[in-house]
Amino acid sequence: MEQMNELVESVLESAAEHGLWSPHDTIVVAVSGGPDSVALLHILHEISLNRMPLTLICAHVNHGFRPESVDEAESVRAMAGRLGLPFELAEFDIPSLVKESGLGPEGAAREKRYQFLIDTAHRYAARSVALAHHADDQAETVLMRLLRGSGPSGLAGMRWKRTEKKVELIRPFLRINKTALVSLCRQEGLPYAEDASNLMTEYRRNAVRLNLIPALEAYNPQVRQSLLQLSEIVQAEDEYMEAAAEKYFNELVLVEPGKCTMQRALFTGIPSALQRRLIKLILNYLSADSSSLDFPKIEAVRRGTLQDYPTVWSLNMGGSLICMRQYDTIVFSSKPPQQQLSYTYRLSLTNPRIEIKEIGKVLMMSVLERENFTVLGEDSGKMLAWFDSGELVLPLTIRSRLPGDTIRVMGLNGSKKVKDIYIDDKIPSSERAAIPLVCDDLGNIVWIPGVRRSMHAAVGRHTASVLLLSLEDMEKSEEALWPK
């Protein structure tokens, strides 16, 4: 009983430190029938009886891998009965599922197991599912992730608790090694099953446990403890860094449906460690599947953002995620790039108002006598333009941009490509499709709203009447037509 008390105290200390449970919580305990989970069930039962009121449910999964699985399930059922606990059983044919899904046996078993445990927690309105992963499991996990090239979040190992589908997955044994758990079962006479597959080195984790760690212990006998300490340190620092990254996310990132935008100048001012985390946070926000977001892709975005040139680029991040640099703006999008719009409208004195529904704009035309019109100044960059109505050849055509379009700009000898003007003005490529072109009846581009007007039909001292064009948002135009 002395060892039981020691382990109870250790578990209670960890639970208090990491907030694993509160009095009167309902906890689903995952019990495979091995020594780890059998010890977990009995330690939590001891706590619930004598230290803190908890409601426990014993849950077992028969994966259908081995003939003895049925007997193990009945053994766990009998154990729950002796402790007076509800018992929940799930039976799966994992070998068949592997053939159907294409997943590996470990992946398929894990997916079905967690699904059952979380569903059981929902049925019992339980706050959490308790898992029996221990210190040796943690050391193996950290080493496997180190070999895989994981960053700090991976080297932090398994978390004491994490939330999945509104259920907390808790691991009270992460500081307790397996020998202590096996010793408890033997001392207390608790029956447990030995899984022969744990000795099969074709499974990567088994190979790490049985071959690699013993080899490393020849160089450092305390290698397991070192890996465990690494996990503890990195986990605390990782949580701190994640909180800092979230703070920058809230301050620097403009979030819209399917899109996140940030300014390059603000991004370059934060530490590089947080730059990577911020990029990953943005990509995780836009995609539920972050499995393809590896270091090279995140680093490509970071370096491309920091470099002065090129100022325009696009990177396919995989999983329908795209990152684009548009001069001083970085855009992350989970939507496919906007296709080139194609539209044509006619504007005349008999039809002086048109709605360009493709871009949500309204173009209006009016004619004023010269004495009733005051030149407002340079019209470049405004949503208004004025022309000598006697010189402008009507009707006007309003259309989308075409390859090779040019405009004769005031003050410039000759024509200039519209595309080059957009580049010079640093107009993002994603915004160019929303800019209409206004052409006279001879096909000359006379105005690019908000960008440039041409040299055609300029208002001068001999102008008798002025043709005024204005481009507005459709909503604003409707408000003007229908005042409240």
Contact 365, 469 (CB under 8 A): yes
Tell me which residue of 226, 472, 466, 230 sits closest to 367, measured CA to CA: 466
Cα(186)–Cα(180) distance, rounded to whole angstroms? Answer: 10
Q: Which residues contact 85 (CB under 8 A, 6 or more apart)?
A: 41, 45, 56, 57, 58
The beta strands (E) that lie in 165-283 are given as 167-170, 254-256, 259-263
Q: How many CB atoms lie under 10 A from the CB of residue 135?
A: 21
- Buried/exposed 383-401: b ≥16 CB within 10 Å, e otherwise: eebbbbbeebeeebbbbbb
Q: What are phi and psi of 463, to 5 degrees?
A: -70, 125
Contact 10, 175 (CB under 8 A): yes
Q: Is 37 annotated as a binding residue?
A: yes
Paired residues of 471 in beta bridges: 363
Spacing of C-alpha 48 from chain mean position: 39
Most distant CA pair in the chain: distance in Å?
109
Contact 454, 447 (CB under 8 A): yes
Q: Is 151 annotated as a binding residue?
A: no
Phi/psi zone of residue 189: left (φ > 0), alpha (ψ -120 to 50 degrees), beta? left
Q: What are phi and psi of 136, to 5 degrees?
A: -65, -40
Cα(228)–Cα(232) distance, rounded to whole angstroms? Answer: 6
Joined tokens for residue 13: 């200390």
Q: Is 450 annotated as a binding residue?
A: no
Tell me which residue of 52, 41, 118, 119 sits closest to 81, measured CA to CA: 41
Q: Is 36 annotated as a binding residue?
A: yes
Joined tokens for residue 136: 């040796």
Angle, helix 135-148 to helix 223-252, in steps of 10 degrees:
60
Peptide bond into 310 cis (omega under 30): yes
Q: Is 19 annotated as a binding residue?
A: no
Cα(449)–Cα(400) distance, rounded to whole angstroms? Answer: 12
Residue type, 64: G
Bind-site residues for ATP: 32-37
Bind-site residues: 32-37
